[in-house]
Amino acid sequence: MSIKVNLDIVLVERNMKSKELAEIIGITTANLSILKSGKAKAIRFSTLEAICKALDCQPSDILEYIED
């Protein structure tokens, strides 16, 4: 997919674990893992908003467009 999810990089920068983020934003670790691995087909604005709020970042920090 041409949209890359850089969530793991931002998590490392913020020194936060996936489990903590999942608890803060209220999704399961399994779903967060799907999002991190790039298997997710779509992301809700509410989820994106919660992630940005929890990690204090912009959507562009998490999502990156890569041309095929």
Partner 1 sequence: MKNYTTPILILFLFLVIAIIGNITISAIGLFFNHDVFNTGVYANGYEASLNIKLIFMAKAFALLMFIYSVYILIRNLKFLVRRDFFNNKLVQCFSKSGKLFFFSGIVGFLASICGILNIAIIKDFGSQAYLNIDSKSLYIMLMILGFFLLLFSKVLDKGNEIQQENDLTI
Distance separating alpha carbons of residues 18 and 28, to the nearest angstrom: 10
Taking the complex as a whole, the smallest distance from the CB of residue 63 to partner 1 amounts, in Å, to 12
Nearer to partner 1, 24 or 43 (CB): 43
> Does 56 interact with partner 1 (rule: CB under 8 A)?
no
Closest among 67, 1, 66 to 39, alpha carbons compared: 1
Contact 51, 7 (CB under 8 A): yes
Q: Cβ atoms within 10 A of the Cβ of 62, count?
A: 20
Residues 16-55 close enough to bind partner 1 by CB under 8 A: 27, 31-32, 34-35, 39-44, 47
**Where does this chain bind partner 1 (CB under 8 A)?**
27, 31-32, 34-35, 39-44, 47
